[in-house]
Amino acid sequence: MPQNRSGVLLVNIGTPEAPTKEAIKKYLKQFLSDQRIVDVPRWIWWPLLHLIILPTRSRRLVQLYISIWMNEGSPLMVYSQRQCYKLSTKLDIPVALGMNYGNPSLKSALDILIKKQKIKKLIVLPLFPQFSCATAGAVWDGIHKVFSDYRSIPSVCFIRDYAQNPTYIAALAASVNYSFKKYGKPDLLIVSFHGVPQRFVYEGDDYPQRCYATFKLLIKALSMNLNTAMLTFQSRFGHEPWLTPYTQSTLEILPNKGIKNVHVISPGFSADCLETLEEINIQNREVFFRAGGTHFEYIRALNADEAHINMMKELVIPFCND
């Protein structure tokens, strides 16, 4: 075995293990207990979380998860596992999948790579194309927490994000062009990213800049202009201001402006999940049609497409040993 053997850790956000109230509640408890996600003082947040949010939100989400659940399980988990397997076939080093929240945990993935595979160099690829303290930052925290119980740790190469990676942009552009060819060009291409509280940006998170970087490069690759494409932010949670414009609010007003045919892509999601398959493709589709829209196409995430896996390989190869 090589002295400095490398291994790759793929990380995504996580998902409930089943579309049930109990499984969703368990997942949400871990997710919403992370101060990277909700940084409200514990004495305020804890009663709200346990007495109101977890009981009501887990109950409400059951039917939403059921509406997107695949035969093999949660879409995010299915696609993430496929990504891990396909990347492992392209590399001659170990690849493991871990989730920020839920299973497989970061600890289980790191134990496989470090204790079982005996790697000496860890290449961490968070599958969040645009850095945010709430996503890639949480991955960093989670790895540090696991390492706090290790007597020996490997060297670590942390890929912060890949918002401007040419192969990533090309893969996005190819998926948009495929949609245009199949369904015709829309009045407007909506490029919807997951939102974060505006306060995070004031405190130093450069997430919106990373989103705009991807957006500009994608529009350039498509030879489009800003009159035919628009950046928005989705998945708002809570009552404080989040990044704007909001995707849903935008879709509500577009038909009155004569824009009745839209295609929507969410480049911040490396795998389709509740936020894309249900929020965008079901909820926001209905919002748009109720407002007078006539044609709506959701452009799926890159998932385990060959171009996406090749991009992952391209990202990690420079850090691997010969």
- Residues annotated as binding site? 194, 275
Given the structure tokens 């949609």, which residue do they identify? 179
Tokens of 180: 């245009």
In this structure, which amino acid lies at residue 198?
Answer: Q
Q: How far apart are CA 287 and CA 293, in angstroms?
A: 9
Q: How far apart are CA 57 and CA 238, in angstroms?
A: 12
Query: Which is it for strands 261-265 and 95-99: parallel, antiparallel or unpaired?
Result: unpaired
The CA–CA distances, whole Å, from 188 to 38, 83, 299, 322 equal 34, 31, 13, 46
Q: How far apart are CA 205 and CA 199, in angstroms?
A: 9
- 310 Cα distance to chain centroid: 18
Residue 42's CB: how many other CB atoms inside 10 A?
12
- Which stretches within the chain are classed as H helix? 21-32, 42-48, 54-68, 75-90, 106-110, 136-147, 166-183, 198-202, 207-221, 247-253, 285-290, 306-316
* Burial classification of residue 225, based on how many CB atoms lie within 10 Å of its CB (0-12 exposed, 13-18 middle, 19 or more buried): exposed
Extract the annotated binding site for Fe(2+): 194, 275
Q: How far apart are CA 28 and CA 65, in angstroms?
A: 13
Given a contact cutoff of 8 angstroms between Cβ atoms, the answer to whether 194 and 269 are in contact is yes
